[in-house]
Amino acid sequence: MLNFALVGCGRIAKRHSELLGLNQIDNARLVSVCDIEYSKAKVIGERFNVSSYKDFDEMMENENIDVVAVLTPSG
């Protein structure tokens, strides 16, 4: 089982969190989310019962994460 974290909890994170948080991908699960706007991370975290963070380093220190999906805005 791969433990996923999402960094960036904007529009695209909604779809990623649904796939991972609702166990729609074999051998993958959502364990944590992070966004500099903590309120966005908190909404997704509460919906899927996973940890939410504002600080990336804190998340990486406290969670068992195998894969980080970076969903921040592109240039």
Nearest to 33 by CA among 74, 73, 1, 10: 10
The CATH class for the domain spanning 6-63 reads: alpha beta
The DSSP element (H or E) to which 44 belongs, if any, is helix 38-48
SS3 of residue 22 by DSSP: coil
Residue 75 confidence (pLDDT) above 90: no
Domain ranges of the chain: 6-63
Q: Which two tokens stand for residue 54?
A: 């504002």
Q: Which two tokens stand for residue 21?
A: 């948080």
Tell me the pLDDT of the chain averaged across its residues: 96
**How many helical (H) and strand (E) elements, i.e. helices and strands, does the chain have?**
3, 4
Q: pTM for the whole thing?
A: 0.94
Average confidence (pLDDT) over 33-62: 98
pLDDT tens-place string over residues 19-47: 999 999 999 999 999 999 999 999 999 99
